[in-house]
A and B are shown apart, each in its own frame.
Chain A
Amino acid sequence: MFSELSAQREASSLLCRPASEDQGPVFDRVLQAYTPCSERFKLGERSFSRQYAHIYAARLMQMRPLLTERAQQKWGVNVRIRKLCDLQTGEQCCIVGTLFKHMELQPSILKEISEEHNLLPQPARARYISDADELILEDELQRIKLEGKIDKDKCVTGSVIAIYGAEKNDGKFTVEEFCTADLPLQTPRPSLSSDKFVLLASGLGLGSSHADSMLGLQLLVDMITGQLGDQGEQSGAASISRVLLAGNLLSQSTQNKEDSTKAKYLTKKTQAGSVEAIRLLDELLLQLVASVPVDVMPGQYDPTNYTLPQQPLHRCMFPLCSVYPTLQLVSNPYQANIDGVKFLGTSGQNVSDIQKYSSVDSHLDILENTLRLRHLAPTAPDTLGCYPFYQKDPFVLEECPHVYFSGNAPSFDCKSDSITKSLTEVLLVTVPEFSSTQMACLVNLRTLECEPVTFSAFSADDDDESEMNISH
């Protein structure tokens, strides 16, 4: 682990005389092999004339063979797999289809228009689930209401699953069991000889009104660039081979929604809040890229397109650091191969959206669910913005990653061994939002272990503050 690595060395070099007059020891940063694999998230043509029916059709086309195979493994090779149009009442069979959850509370623009005469606007909710929700399974042609052993609160619209059971006389399908596509195949990773780390951080929240996180952020940068601590810590920092910033580099407050609705002449002389924040980010990144390769993913509040997949931030926003080849502006979702370890992850929109439309609370559990569904963002395009793909759904996982992460989580969490039944080894990480937790995390590429790093020396802890006040 990183902390042990740094602590091993004798921690006395700060309290003794400098060894010699000239420069101290130089620790070379470890190198790594890196191949970006995010091509499938790059958009060539941008045509918004299509409907979303295509993405659901393509998703079902891609998932049907996988689920058929999985159903045969689970319920025997001779299990009857039916289309909904061939379904007969009372017959035990298996159906593959896309889930749709009918939710009364789901915000709908049509409802708002039709009801605006006599109703107050719906209050903003943290969750849109209710007891009246209904689960419906759709295949290419038809749909059927589901009941029985399937928890509607845990399921979300857009997941492709296989169900086993029978249709009853009232036209509803009683589910006895269901299965998901589960983990895809994984290519084994090569074993590394030494410890190498990738640092994951998200939600830097630059440009927010309160600059609490700036000290922590600077400490983070100094730690990575090896300007913090004694020689032991500095040599530890040299083993960080890459930094990955998973979205929301800018704070939500840089997006001033009012400005876009105001008259032009009122906002003529004002500058968008994101301009100053991006300049700040450029300066911050400059310190990093001069020393270490950095991947920058955009997030929900960053100045790029809103719909998934988010395209990389434009180079011209970073006049200072875009000259460095170590700066990689990447897409969200992100996929790359770092020293043979496959990374896949998002800035967290997919996870927080599922959280709103299901009863699952923990970001880590949702992350695991999406891996088991073999789909990065099942709720896109229903409640999550998404480009209207027609040929293929790029969010269907074709290969199992070694590190699967999502950004901007309320807290740090990771999980590795409990989901590995066979040879598949996956590390799930929810990368905490830095601006609120002052926390980043380090993934060891050799052991696939993950460890948080906290910089909350003065900020969050109220007790510390009060003690300091007393002492003054």
Chain B
Amino acid sequence: MTTKRGLITDTFKVVKKPKRVGKREKRPPSPPSKETKGETDREKELQALQKLRQFDLDWKFGPCTGISRLQRWERAQLHGLDPPEEIRDLLLLHAHTHPEYNQCLWSEYPL
């Protein structure tokens, strides 16, 4: 008797199949586009973010939580600690477009 309920399993299969097809369709186009636009761009971005994180961790410029990276850079400049110019350039370049550049490493953790 139970075996005759195959109809239900059939319906499940029917429902599932289109989804899988859809996922497969979505996946393939995305990676090639990034590859074509250039792996180098993304690497640069990662490098830049890595530099900013290193700046966050440099204790000479004081604590980094609660203020933006640019504010911290400006404070270091004000007190004559010679923060790297490169950092400010990076910050000014990306500040408006990418919020992740603005805030320090620990910004997602609540105080």
Binding site for B on A (CB under 8 A): 49-51, 53-54, 57-58, 61-62, 65, 140-141, 390-392
Contact = CB atoms under 8 A, between A and B. Distances in A.
B65 A51 contact: yes
Contact of A50 (B60, B67, B78, B79): B67
A49 B66 contact: yes
Given A61-B79, A140-B59, A391-B74, 16 more contacts: A49-B66, A49-B111, A50-B66, A51-B63, A53-B62, A54-B62, A54-B63, A57-B63, A58-B62, A61-B75, A61-B81, A140-B60, A390-B67, A390-B71, A391-B78, A392-B78
B62 A51 contact: no
B65 A390 contact: no
A391 B71 CA distance: 8
Nearest to A47: B66
Contacts of A140: 59-60, 62
24 contacts: A49-B111, A50-B65, A50-B66, A50-B67, A51-B63, A51-B66, A51-B111, A53-B62, A54-B66, A54-B67, A58-B62, A58-B75, A58-B79, A61-B75, A61-B79, A65-B80, A140-B60, A141-B59, A390-B66, A390-B75, A391-B71, A391-B74, A391-B75, A392-B78
Nearest to A62: B79
Nearest to B75: A391
Interface in B70-109: 71, 74-75, 78-81
A54 to B, nearest CB: 6
A390 B79 CA distance: 12
- CB-based closest 7 A-B pairs: A57-B62, A50-B66, A61-B79, A53-B63, A391-B75, A390-B67, A140-B59
Contacts of B81: 61
Contacts of B67: 50, 54, 390
A112 to B, nearest CB: 22
A140 B58 CA distance: 11
A53 B64 CA distance: 9
Contacts of A58: 62, 75, 79
A62 B111 CA distance: 26
Contacts of A54: 62-63, 66-67
A450 B78 CA distance: 38
B93 to A, nearest CB: 23
Contacts of B71: 390-391
A176 B65 CA distance: 37
Contacts of B80: 65
Nearest to A50: B66
A49 B111 CA distance: 8
Interface string B38-81: 00000000000000000000011011011100010011001111
Contacts of A53: 62-63, 65
A54 B68 CA distance: 12
Contacts of B60: 140
A51 B66 CA distance: 7
Contacts of A61: 62, 75, 79, 81
Please indicate which of the listed interface residues B63, B65, B78 has the most CB atoms of chain A within 10 Å of its own CB: B63
B51 to A, nearest CB: 21
A50 B65 CA distance: 7
A301 B2 CA distance: 84
A294 to B, nearest CB: 36
